[in-house]
Chains A and B, each alone.
Chain A
Amino acid sequence: MSWAFLRDLLSGVNKYSTGIGRIWVAVVFMFRLLVYVAAAENIWKHEHDEFECNIKQPGCENVCFDHFFPVSHIRLWALQLIMVSTPSLLVVFHVAYRENREKQHNQKLYRNPGKIDGGLLCTYLISLILKTGLEIVFLVLFYKLYNGFKIPRLVKCDIKPCPNIVDCYISKPTEKMIFLYFLVATSCLCIVLNLSELSYLIFKYSIKRYLKRHMKKQQ
């Protein structure tokens, strides 16, 4: 089980998406997943080993690291990628349910089970809202946990068993900050794409309904 599973999942979702949805999948693949696997993972690989405190007291480094990094950036990033990709499964499940129904009743119930209309439209809109919500939740979590998106070079720690206040140095803070900003930028881009897809779909289907009603009135 690895990121290849997520990649296959998203490729499956791509079939039932709108044009903007496909751009979203491409952005998630290229700028988030690929950057994570090819570059970001290695930066945070030895973060605990390279975290150094100006003290010989055993246990002080461990305690300080745990205090300043309750959940590592890279793990939050991975969780965010997984959570944000999952709502698209709702759409895949709904289409599979439609196809199953057609098989059971042995007749063509839908013009095209993959077309976004009726119940599938609701599912699609819900998945978009969930995706956007989860992106925002994770961005807020990052902001609250780490006091903004900055990573300082030096943190001062005075938790037991550290004697007085001790200077602790984080490894590669600039590189980590650059990739953190990259993460935030791609997250915001994905939020914008999701919101525009949402408005596009709502607009398109309201126009359709209005036209249908108008034609009925004329008849």
Chain B
Amino acid sequence: MDWGALHTVLGGVNKHSTSIGKIWLTVLFIFRIMILVVAAEKVWGDEQDDFVCNTLQPGCRNVCYDHFFPISHIRLWALQLIFVSTPALLVAMHVAYRRHEKKRQFRKGDQKCEYKDIEEIRKQRFRIEGSLWWTYTSSIFFRLIFEAVFMYAFYFMYDGFRMPRLMKCNAWPCPNTVDCFVSRPTEKTVFTIFMIAVSSICILLNVAELCYLLTRFFLRRSKKAGSSKQQPNHENKEETKQNEMNELISDSCQNTVIGFSS
């Protein structure tokens, strides 16, 4: 069980996301999870061993480390990534539920069902409308909230995003004030700023996706209101053509996203 398993789960959601959602997922996996596993974990690997205090008093180092790092950066990022990925599971569960319903209909031999076999149901891509729209939008909303909360917690706990070289500590059992030195402060600052920057990009992508979904929703509503006054057949043909074009565009986008398959 590791980040690879998360990739498998979220890759399945990718099929039913908007284009911005697919970009968000790519950014999440390449610029956050991969960087965390491949680079950041090694930078913070020796954080307590190489945290050195200018005293021979046993216990002082432990206490000072605990005082300045209540929860390590790397653990906070891991938790942030887990919490931020979880809302996508809501969408995955909703899609699975819809598929299950369609399979049940198919098995009952419902004539309304237009599928030829179960394989087609499994491979079908659901459009984001109806109740799935609400699930998808609330998952984006929760993602935003979690990102913001973790970024604030980070800023609050570490007084900004810089890692100082030297910390002055006078917690018991340290005798007077003791100088403690953090290992690799510059490298840690660089990675912290990088992770914060990518977090901000993800927040922007989520906001953009939310706006896109809301705009689409209101446009559809106004179209429906307009079309109910005009001839229904003519409007439906145009709408179907536009829908087909949208499908083609989003399918081509799907094919160019790296490495994700259902």
Per-position 1/0 for A29-72, Cβ under 8 A of B: 11101110111001100100010111100000000000000000
Per-position 1/0 for A158-174, Cβ under 8 A of B: 00000000011111111
**Cβ of A136 < 8 Å from any Cβ of B?**
no
Which of B65-90 touch A at CB < 8 Å?
A: 65-66, 69-72, 74-75, 78-79, 82, 85-86, 89
**Cβ of A108 < 8 Å from any Cβ of B?**
no
Q: Contact: A174 with B66, CB < 8 Å? A: yes
> How far, in whole Å, are A26 and B93 apart by their CA atoms in the complex?
10
Q: Contact: A3 with B1, CB < 8 Å? A: yes
> How far, in whole Å, are A195 and B72 apart by their CA atoms in the complex?
35
Residues of B within 8 A of A169 (CB): 58-59, 62-63, 173
> How far, in whole Å, are A12 and B5 apart by their CA atoms in the complex?
15
Residues of A within 8 A of B66 (CB): 153, 171-175
Contact of A38 among B2, B61, B72, B173 (CB under 8 A): B2
Q: Contact: B49 with A46, CB < 8 Å? A: yes
Q: Contact: A29 with B1, CB < 8 Å? A: yes
Among residues of A, the one whose C-beta sits closest to the C-beta of B4 is: A4
Q: Contact: A153 with B69, CB < 8 Å? A: no
Q: Contact: B63 with A153, CB < 8 Å? A: yes
Contact of A175 among B70, B78, B86 (CB under 8 A): B70
**Cβ of B3 < 8 Å from any Cβ of A?**
yes
Q: Contact: A39 with B59, CB < 8 Å? A: no
Distance of A47 from chain B, by nearest CB (Å):
11
Among residues of B, the one whose C-beta sits closest to the C-beta of A171 is: B62
**Cβ of B6 < 8 Å from any Cβ of A?**
yes
Given A26-B93, A50-B48: A154 and B1 interface contact (C-beta under 8 Å)? no
Residues of B within 8 A of A39 (CB): 74-75, 78-79
Distance of A140 from chain B, by nearest CB (Å):
26
> How far, in whole Å, are A120 and B204 apart by their CA atoms in the complex?
49
Residues of A within 8 A of B85 (CB): 30
Q: Contact: A170 with B62, CB < 8 Å? A: yes
Given A30-B89, A175-B70: A38 and B3 interface contact (C-beta under 8 Å)? yes
> How far, in whole Å, are A168 and B93 apart by their CA atoms in the complex?
49
> How far, in whole Å, are A179 and B59 apart by their CA atoms in the complex?
22
Among residues of A, the one whose C-beta sits closest to the C-beta of B93 is: A22
* B: contact size bracket: 20 to 34
Distance of B135 from chain A, by nearest CB (Å):
14
Residues of B within 8 A of A37 (CB): 1-2
Count of inter-chain pairs, beta carbons less than 8 A: 102
Distance of B83 from chain A, by nearest CB (Å):
9
> How far, in whole Å, are A190 and B217 apart by their CA atoms in the complex?
36
Distance of A111 from chain B, by nearest CB (Å):
11
> How far, in whole Å, are A78 and B54 apart by their CA atoms in the complex?
37
Which of A8-24 touch B at CB < 8 Å?
A: 19, 22-23
Q: Contact: B79 with A167, CB < 8 Å? A: no
Given A7-B5, A171-B48: A30 and B62 interface contact (C-beta under 8 Å)? no
Given A22-B93, A154-B59, A172-B65: A30 and B86 interface contact (C-beta under 8 Å)? yes
> How far, in whole Å, are A170 and B78 apart by their CA atoms in the complex?
23
Residues of B within 8 A of A38 (CB): 2-3, 78, 82
Of the listed residues A37, A39, A154, the one surrounded by the most CB atoms of chain B closer than 10 A to its CB is: A39
Q: Contact: A52 with B70, CB < 8 Å? A: no
Of the listed residues B1, B2, B41, B66, the one surrounded by the most CB atoms of chain A closer than 10 A to its CB is: B1
Given A30-B82, A52-B59: A175 and B5 interface contact (C-beta under 8 Å)? no
Distance of B175 from chain A, by nearest CB (Å):
12
15 contacts between A and B (CB under 8 A): A7-B5, A26-B89, A30-B82, A31-B82, A34-B2, A34-B3, A50-B48, A53-B58, A154-B59, A154-B63, A167-B173, A173-B66, A175-B70, A175-B75, A178-B70
Please list the residues of chain A having a beta carbon within 8 angstroms of any beta carbon in chain B: 2-4, 6-7, 19, 22-23, 26, 29-31, 33-35, 37-39, 42-43, 46, 50, 52-55, 153-154, 167-175, 178-179
Please list the residues of chain B having a beta carbon within 8 angstroms of any beta carbon in chain A: 1-3, 5-6, 9, 41, 48-49, 57-59, 61-63, 65-66, 69-72, 74-75, 78-79, 82, 85-86, 89, 93, 96-97, 173
Among all A-B residue pairs, the 5 with the closest Cβ atoms: A169-B59, A3-B1, A174-B70, A169-B62, A39-B78
